[in-house]
Amino acid sequence: MHLCRDLEPVRRLLLREEPATRSIYNVIFGRAGGKATWVRVDDRDDPKVVLCRAWWLTMYAASRAAGRRCLDELPDRWRLNFSSTPSWVCEHVGRTRRVRWSTPCFGYALTDPARLDIHRVHRVGRLVPGDSRTVARYWPYHHGHGDSMYIKRRIRSGPTCAIRRDGRLVAWALTHGDGSLGFLHVLEPWRGRGMARSIGTALSRQVMRRGWMPFLFIEKKNRASQRLTEKMGLERVGSYSWFSSGPRRPRAGRA
């Protein structure tokens, strides 16, 4: 793949493939605070495949055949850590590399602002940097040891929503570095009161005021969050994976 410095052909491709490309678009063009350190394409003038690196790798391919060829060209020694990437990429990488772990998700996106079902049952405020430790404690992917510094940066740079009762934080959501909605959590005693829906629609409206369109990723096993997201008016737009793989396995016949 070729290093890409003229990003205009990439922009045209990703906008044409909307809404499936919102995550990689935001990372490449730095719309939500995250920013790619490099971008590679299969063809600088007419790209069909885009690969970028920020903290993780992210890939989009308008042609799966072209995408598979590009994946096969990646250096054997590379350890591949992918985020918000179509699930077929993980399946293809797994043919020649050991996939250490993977988190399969569905992608959801709001395609028409008029479809957002506004829910104003609860008064929604904002998070402050001092809330970062609480948010990190309940972030399930880090078992109570979440990266509070990353969360603090997201609170300072991105839209956030919070519900408090008697000064205590009881529900919240914010965005990731690619602009996706995330971290939504309601403390156990306060569930079943519509707080998650109030938070989700309020955060979606904040995102739209910044000129983005809302999108998020939900683990395939999390049916409750999928139902909530669909009630808000977002549509399922594909299957995605977060995964990590080691170097390429030795090929048969190599010395």
> Can you tell me the mean pLDDT for 168-193?
95
Q: Could you read off the pLDDT of 233-247 as tens digits, one per residue?
A: 999 999 999 999 999
pLDDT confidence band for 140 (50 / 70 / 90): confident
> Can you tell me the mean pLDDT for 193-202?
95
pLDDT confidence band for 251 (50 / 70 / 90): low
The whole-number pLDDT of residue 196 equals 95
pLDDT confidence band for 146 (50 / 70 / 90): low
Taking residue 8's Cβ as centre, other Cβ atoms within 10 Å add up to 8
Whole-angstrom distance, CA of residue 189 vs CA of residue 36: 40
Give the three-state DSSP class for 223. helix
The pTM of this model reads: 0.91
Q: State the average pLDDT for the chain.
A: 92
Taking residue 50's Cβ as centre, other Cβ atoms within 10 Å add up to 29
Per-residue pLDDT at 145 exceeds 60: no
Q: Could you read off the pLDDT of 26-53 as tens digits, one per residue?
A: 999 998 887 899 999 999 999 999 999 9
> What is the DSSP secondary structure assignment for residue 143, as one 8-state letter?
T
The whole-number pLDDT of residue 252 equals 57
The whole-number pLDDT of residue 93 equals 96
Q: Which domains does the chain have, with CATH numbers?
A: 2-109+240-248 (3.40.630), 117-213 (3.40.630.30)
Positive or negative: CA dihedral 191, 195, 197, 199: negative
Closest to 229 in 3D by CA, of 187, 189, 192, 196 = 196
In terms of residues, how long is the chain? 255
The whole-number pLDDT of residue 31 equals 87
Q: How do strand 97-109 and strand 80-86 relate by DSSP bridges?
A: unpaired
Whole-angstrom distance, CA of residue 142 vs CA of residue 133: 12
> Can you tell me the mean pLDDT for 97-119?
94
Look at the block and give the residue holding tokens 């096993």: 221
Residues of the chain above pLDDT 70, percent: 96
Closest to 157 in 3D by CA, of 34, 26, 52, 23 = 34
Whole-angstrom distance, CA of residue 219 vs CA of residue 44: 34
